[in-house]
Structure 1
Amino acid sequence: MSEPTGVIHDIGYQRYTGPRLARRAVFGALYLHGLRAAFGLGRSAKAKIFPWLVVAIVIVVAAALTAIRSQIGEVLMTYAQFADSMSWLVIFFVAVAAPELVSRDLHSGVLPLYFSRPLPRADYPLAKLAALATALWLLLGAPQLVMFLGGAFTTDSGLRGVWNELLDLLPGLLYAGLWAVVFASVGLLVASLTGRRAFAAGGIVAVFLMTTPVVATLAIMPSQAVTELAGLASPSTLVQGVGMWSLGDLLVNDTNSGEFEIGPYGPVYAVVTLLLVATCVTLLLARYRKVAAR
């Protein structure tokens, strides 16, 4: 009779008997992790430097505008104009945050681990997209809230003044949401193409900044139609065109009315913006279907 060759040891492992969370919880966890990662939360101090530096800059600018307004009694910059003015900072924020959300996972090869769970293939990129768009909206919306509080507490018209200030704030927040959705869609798509964060960041900056000279070139063409449609060539001016068409005086005033003209083509800018976002999201989903199939 042969002797036993092995022994089973009880080291305390137990079966999980708690609630089994479904798709919504997985999506929510990915979204929350992505939102935290965009601001460097839960990571090293070095990873927090740039995101919070950008946050500090936009808050300081908003506080300065609020202080000047309280002293001179005039609005130097509307809420919508604030989003336009901070667009350059938003580009660099996207260039840092988007690779952090998706390029790191591609480089480390953990996507098969994600997709081994009951996670639909579309949920991963959509959760990351929602997280980045939320981070960008907070980046532009929080300073607007600072400006609103300053304007509401210094108004001389009582509740009516606060109400009018709120009516100015809401379009500004919606406009910030448009910036966030467009920039997040384009930035995340570019970042998803490579697992190297440096390449992803460079690609994002190139897409946004290298299209600006194209707009400037088209804007000096002799044809008025070409000039007014020139903003379609860049994501930044595309968003600005939608804002000029939909917000009017909240975005355009006497000091900046000559910088950019869209003529009667406002609806064209809106349609192209929708097509751009839809195309980016579609390509992003196709990219992760390809990654999951490997």
Structure 2
Amino acid sequence: MASQTSVIHDIGYQRYRGPRLGRWYANRSLYEHSLRTAFGIGRGAKAKIFPWLVIGIVLGVAVVEIAVRSISGQPLITYRGFASGLSFPIMLFLAIVAPELVSRDLRDRTLPLYFSRPLARTDYALAKYAALATAVLLLLGVPQLLIYIGAIFTRTDGFSGAMDELGDMGPGLAGALIRALVLAAIALVVASTTGRRAFAAAFIVGVFVITTPVVGILVVLGEALGNSTLSELAFIANPMTLLNGFEQWLFGADGNNRMPIGDFGPVYGLGAVALLALAITLLLARYRKVAA
């Protein structure tokens, strides 16, 4: 029973009377926050080390390319080759960033706070996916733009040379976009399975590393059996080589870097689209069932 001397104190709680910004604002805020998190912006120095180490590697390759073009006038690597040749830094970036975006929320059990707002479970998953895809696109696209700017200043054919470079860069940026969309979806699906960031990072690396020798085994097996179809379809087993085959079908061979995919280019295209659709479907299904 309460004491007769009990007192109710008015400490000033009031109802919120401001504008209700709604679901769209919540989605945009989550996307912006996640994109900043991907690059360690607004966080401590420790959170910036690994993402910016990868960014430094990628930008270093771009600087070397600009220097070679300015000295020799010839490209060391094509725009498309830039995206496809940096598979390891991309994989490392995904393994670092994807767990930061989703595994931390699972471990710290902050999802109930997100879902208490006008934010659906699918909104959360898609905002995280959009942020990671944007980060990968910036990682691959910005250096290509720097190479383009450096290239047009070293060409002597003026406007026509700039347009030629732009025509070469277009497929490179398209390849960067394709990689960003597909690889970000795969990485997030894997990272969303565990709240332990170290495990998530290892699983992401494993998806790309373990499937690499599978491609080699299938190629060798196809050659040993005299089955060219098996050899030409073997590159579907690894996400990176699958996307390389998809790009080759879309834009043709990139110089001497022709993949032996025969006439199966459309199969690689369907495989890339199916992989993207499967990864997004699994991501959305994961967050429909995750405890909140």
TM-score w.r.t. the length of structure 2 is 0.95
1:109 to partner: Cα distance = 0.6
Distance (whole Å) between structure 2 residues aligned to residue 237 and residue 73 of structure 1: 30
Question: CA–CA distance in 2 between the matches of 1:151 and 1:245?
Answer: 27
Q: Which runs of 5+ in 2 are unaligned?
A: none
- 1:10 Cα deviation from its structure 2 partner: 3.2
In the TM superposition, 1:261-272 aligns within 5 A as 261-272=260-271
Deviations for 1:127-170, whole angstroms, at most 9, x for unmatched residues?
00000000000000111011000011122111111112112212
Instruction: Check if 1:232 corresponds to 2:231.
Output: no
1:279 equivalent in structure 2: 278
Alignment of 1:115-264 (within 5 A): 115-220=115-220, 221-222=222-223, 223-249=227-253, 252-254=254-256, 256-257=257-258, 260-264=259-263
**Paired residue type of 2:255:** N
Report how far residue 4 of structure 1 moved.
5.0
Q: Which one-letter code corresponds to 2:286 in the other structure?
A: R
Paired residue type of 1:289: R
Q: CA deviation at 1:5?
A: 4.4
Q: Deviations over 1:206-231 (max 9, x none)?
A: 00111000001111122110001001
Amino acid at match of 1:110: T
- Give how far 1:3 is off: 7.7
Deviations 1:59-93 (A, max 9, x none): 11101111111111112211110001111100011
Matches of 1:60 and 1:90, distance apart in 2: 14
Aligned pairs for 1:36-185 within 5 A: 36-185=36-185
Moved more, 8-17 or 200-209: 8-17
Partner AA of 1:235 in structure 2 = P
Describe the SS at the equivalent of 1:25. Answer: helix
CA distance in 2, matches of 1:32, 1:8: 42
- Could you list the runs of 4 or more consecutive aligned residues of structure 1 that deviate by over 4 angstroms after TM superposition? 2-5
Distance 1:100 1:77 in 2: 32
Number of equivalenced pairs: 287
Q: Which amino acid aligns with 1:243?
A: E
1:24 maps to what in 2?
A: 24
Point out where structure 1 has 5 or more consecutive residues left out of the alignment: none
Give the partner amino acid of 1:114.
Y
Describe the superposition over 1:78-134 as per-residue Cα deviations: whole angstroms up to 9, x where unpaired: 111000111110001100100000000000111111111121110001000000000
